[in-house]
């Protein structure tokens, strides 16, 4: 891998420094590992959350099914990303689409192009402005995070678009969250991966500052696999080709925050770069030539919040985001073909472009006699101003090229030509009422939000102003929640909520390209209606039980339609019910959790005639999952163990064609995964751990939806050294 020698040199330098530091450290330091890691069950349950209602509440009082996880618990288990944390939470499970690791939820398949999660960082939405994606895989590090909040289900009543399957909140560190000055963390996988993190903070009477940097690179999970290119050997048999999964990313985070008279004022800067490969290829044809896929995001946030313990509070925030892409894509191999053309020199496309958006919020809160009322307005403007470069060996402006001309490179018109130099605007207003605890037992939360997206587009892509059209989407999303505290240890929740997701620019405006196919005239927002009924019971000082039953009706799911040449359009509507059970235990130096999730399909409608309907069976995702997590510490050692069971995944009847059984079975078998970590606190400042992923080296597969001759194979067993230094 590129720069591996530099990484190794850095690691050697750091180890030398470590040795010197160990010799100079007083080994009689009175701090113990318990000072860093031990948390009682009461402390775990009492971790306050803010994302559920925008006011600080205990998890048991929050008007959502919500979990809060401190960063030290995440580090215990060696999780490398938000995805890996979610995989072991109730309702979630590992999924995969194209090259991307995704998160399935409650019996719903989650695709590459439109995950249904909203990511917040300190309460500010951070989803991508092109695809609406929450970046939950390793390109978003956790080094600058002190805790993670996970809402399961609809969050649209407060947060608007994308908050359909959940809201994921990262609460960032301040300087006083560090042990002293900062941390450095080095992780090196024996096979092919390395992660370097550092974070530091400092403050005085007026200001505080936090700075962090993370770098990750890996050769990825590359293996021999069939694809959809129909390449054959000399015997006429389909051949296997090596997938491509090399990827890397870097993330710079900086935060400045005020103190004393400037308390509540903060500024954040995020600079994010990542490179990736396309796995089985953009169109499931493993490339025969190297690709170059690069992206970056640059985000600035200015925020001011008044103190929370006042009669009247207010918050204002503004965010600027720029997302750039630099893609050199290989869609088809030399001599390849599709239903339109034969490609003697294959099919390639190069795109270099960017888009920007400006988002702002003004929010007011009134607290009177334990009644809380929050009102707010938000606005967003999305801006696209053409491409820096856009070329292909296929003329994609009019799609009428003679195949004999594929030796020519064509300059292509703008990627989002429908809205070139025409902004897309969204305005929203929301309100929430939180009651006091009536009779010290019953609390009611009522929320509602209205969003309105509007824009003008060129309907014929001919720059004729007489062909301009206006389009708008309006959506109201309510929430009503009742929390009944029967006693100090037992509470019940009933939650009704809705959420939506407006079509994203990539789904509405793609033109002159093979990357996207748009349906701007007919595409409609996705919508979900949820009902949750939950129980939270602290059985004694050592055991907590959570039970949750849910019903969700998901309408107008946007996906790639195979009958319409991968057009992004509304394909599915699904109704699902199920339950989630979770136990958390704490006993002396032992901590553990167990959870089980089950989903049952109640109904389904599909507009794509090439996809078989499955009205009463969950397909493409497991209907059941089971997780165990165990943590134990003894003096200066601790060990953790994770177990994940993923049930059998059923396919649809349309996922086959004649002879398909030779390449993959009728269903994807259930599998288990076990991870193990052992760590030793060398001094109060230095911790060394070794982690084993996929301990039993299990063959694990994730379903590939639709009729393709392969499934996604997950990583084999790996070993990882984890070195943590506090300074």
Average pLDDT over the chain, rounded to an integer = 90
Domain boundaries 4-726, corresponding CATH code: 2.40.170.20
Q: Assign 407 a pLDDT band (cuts: 50, 70, 90).
A: confident
Q: What is the pLDDT of residue 43?
A: 67
Q: Assign 461 a pLDDT band (cuts: 50, 70, 90).
A: confident
Q: Where along the chain do its domains lie?
A: 4-726
Range from 32-46, 104-118, 142-156 carrying the lowest mean pLDDT: 32-46
Q: What is the pLDDT of residue 464?
A: 63
Contact indicator for 111, 96 with CB cutoff of 8 Å: no
Range from 502-506, 558-562, 603-607, 670-674 carrying the lowest mean pLDDT: 558-562
pLDDT average, residue stretch 129-138: 95
Q: Which of 59-63, 342-346, 454-458, 565-569 has the highest mean pLDDT?
A: 454-458
Tens-digit pLDDT profile for residues 169-223: 999 999 999 878 899 999 999 878 999 999 999 999 999 999 999 999 999 999 9
Q: Assign 660 a pLDDT band (cuts: 50, 70, 90).
A: confident
Q: Assign 33 a pLDDT band (cuts: 50, 70, 90).
A: very low
Q: Where are the beta strands (DSSP E) in 24-123?
A: 48-49, 57-58, 65-70, 92-97, 100-105, 117-121
Q: What is the pLDDT of residue 40?
A: 66
Q: Assign 21 a pLDDT band (cuts: 50, 70, 90).
A: very low
Query: Is residue 619 helix, strand or coil?
Result: coil
Q: What is the pLDDT of residue 39?
A: 61
Contact indicator for 92, 110 with CB cutoff of 8 Å: no
Tell which wins on pLDDT, 574 or 658: 574
628 pLDDT higher than 90: yes
Q: Which of 155-159, 281-285, 335-339 has the highest mean pLDDT?
A: 155-159
Task: Determine the Cα angle at 107 with ends 105 and 112, to 5°.
Answer: 55
Tens-digit pLDDT profile for residues 512-529: 999 988 889 999 999 999
Contacts of 302 (CB under 8 A, 6+ apart): 266, 267, 317, 318
Q: Assign 29 a pLDDT band (cuts: 50, 70, 90).
A: very low
251 pLDDT higher than 70: yes
Closest CA to 622 of 92, 84, 153: 92
30 pLDDT higher than 60: no
pTM: 0.92
pLDDT average, residue stretch 622-632: 97
Tens-digit pLDDT profile for residues 309-329: 778 999 999 999 999 999 999
Q: What is the pLDDT of residue 288?
A: 92
9 pLDDT higher than 70: no
Q: What is the pLDDT of residue 42?
A: 66
Q: What is the pLDDT of residue 212?
A: 97
Backbone angles phi, psi at 367, to 5 degrees: -120, 120
Contacts of 508 (CB under 8 A, 6+ apart): 418, 518, 519, 520, 523
Of the chain, the percentage scoring pLDDT greater than 70 comes to: 92
User: How is residue 154 written in tokens?
Assistant: 């609809």
Per this entry, what is the length of the chain?
A: 727
Tell me the pairing of strands 468-487 and 490-501: antiparallel
Q: What is the pLDDT of residue 122?
A: 96
Q: What is the pLDDT of residue 2?
A: 46
Tens-digit pLDDT profile for residues 261-288: 899 999 999 999 999 999 999 889 999 9
10 pLDDT higher than 60: no
Find tokens 């402390």 and name the residue.
43
């Amino acid at each position: 891998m590129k720069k591996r020698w530099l990484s190794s040199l850095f690691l050697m330098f750091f180890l030398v420094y470590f040795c010197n530091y160990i010799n100079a450290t007083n080994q009689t330091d009175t701090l113990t590992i318990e000072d860093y890691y031990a948390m009682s069950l009461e402390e775990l349950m009492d971790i306050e959350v803010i994302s559920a209602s925008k006011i600080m509440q205990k998890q048991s009082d929050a008007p959502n099914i919500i979990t809060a996880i401190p960063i030290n618990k995440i580090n215990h288990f060696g999780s490398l990303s938000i995805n890996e944390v979610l995989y072991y939470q109730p309702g979630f499970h590992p999924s995969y689409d194209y090259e991307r690791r995704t998160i399935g939820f409650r019996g719903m398949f989650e695709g590459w192009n439109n995950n249904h999660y909203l990511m917040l960082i300190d309460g500010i939405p951070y989803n991508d402005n092109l695809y609406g994606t929450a970046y939950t895989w390793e390109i978003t590090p956790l080094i600058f995070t002190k805790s993670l909040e996970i809402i399961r289900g609809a969050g649209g009543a407060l947060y608007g678009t994308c908050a359909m399957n959940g809201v994921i909140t990262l609460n960032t560190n301040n300087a006083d969250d560090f042990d002293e000055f900062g941390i450095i963390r080095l992780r090196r996988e024996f096979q092919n991966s390395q992660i370097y993190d550092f974070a530091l903070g400092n403050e005085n009477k007026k200001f505080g500052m936090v700075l962090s940097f993370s770098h990750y690179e890996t050769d990825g999970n590359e293996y021999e696999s069939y694809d959809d290119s129909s390449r054959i050997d000399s015997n006429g048999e389909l051949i296997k080709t090596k997938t491509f999964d090399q990827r890397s990313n870097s993330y710079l985070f900086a935060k400045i925050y005020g103190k004393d008279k400037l308390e509540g004022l903060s500024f954040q800067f995020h600079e994010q770069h990542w490179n990736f490969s396309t796995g089985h290829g953009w169109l499931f044809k493993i490339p025969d030539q190297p690709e170059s896929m690069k992206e970056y995001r640059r985000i600035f946030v200015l925020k001011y919040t008044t103190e929370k313990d006042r009669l009247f509070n207010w918050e204002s925030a503004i965010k600027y985001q720029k997302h750039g892409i630099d893609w050199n894509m290989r869609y088809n191999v030399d001599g390849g073909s599709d239903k339109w053309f034969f490609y003697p020199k294959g099919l390639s496309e190069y795109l270099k472009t960017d888009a920007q958006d400006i988002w702002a919020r003004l929010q007011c809160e009134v607290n009177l006699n334990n009644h809380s009322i929050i009102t707010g307005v938000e606005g967003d403007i999305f801006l696209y101003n053409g491409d820096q470069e856009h070329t292909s060996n296929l003329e994609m402006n009019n799609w009428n090229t003679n195949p004999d001309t594929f030796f020519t490179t064509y300059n292509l018109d703008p990627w989002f030509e429908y809205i070139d130099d025409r902004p897309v605007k969204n305005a929203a207003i929301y309100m929430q009422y939180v009651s006091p605890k009536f009779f010290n037992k019953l609390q009611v939360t009522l929320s509602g939000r209205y969003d309105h997206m509007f824009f003008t587009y060129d309907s014929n892509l001919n720059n004729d102003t007489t062909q301009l059209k206006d389009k708008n989407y309006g959506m109201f999303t309510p929430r009503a929640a009742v929390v009944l505290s029967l006693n100090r240890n037992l509470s019940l929740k009933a939650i009704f909520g809705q959420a939506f997701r407006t079509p994203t620019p990539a789904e509405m405006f793609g033109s002159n390209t093979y990357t996207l196919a748009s349906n701007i005239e007919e595409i409609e927002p996705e919508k979900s209606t949820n009902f949750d009924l939950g129980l939270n019971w602290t059985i004694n000082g050592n055991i907590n039980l959570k039970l949750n039953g849910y019903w969700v009706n998901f309408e107008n799911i946007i996906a790639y339609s195979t009958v319409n040449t991968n057009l992004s359009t509304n394909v599915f509507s699904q109704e699902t019910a199920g339950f989630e059970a979770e136990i958390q235990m704490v006993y002396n130096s032992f901590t553990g959790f167990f959870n089980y999730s089950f989903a049952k399909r109640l109904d389904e409608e599909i507009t794509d005639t090439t996809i078989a309907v499955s009205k009463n069976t969950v397909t493409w995702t497991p209907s059941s999952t089971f997780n165990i997590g165990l943590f134990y510490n003894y003096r200066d050692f601790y060990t953790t163990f994770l177990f994940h069971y993923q049930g059998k995944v059923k396919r649809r009847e349309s996922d086959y064609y004649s002879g398909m059984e030779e390449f993959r079975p009728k269903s994807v078998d259930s599998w288990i995964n076990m991870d193990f970590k052992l760590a030793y606190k060398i001094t109060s400042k230095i911790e060394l751990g070794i982690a084993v992923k996929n301990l039993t080296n299990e063959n694990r597969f994730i379903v590939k939806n639709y009729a393709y001759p392969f499934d996604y194979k997950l990583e084999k067993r790996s070993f990882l050294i984890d070195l943590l230094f506090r300074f």
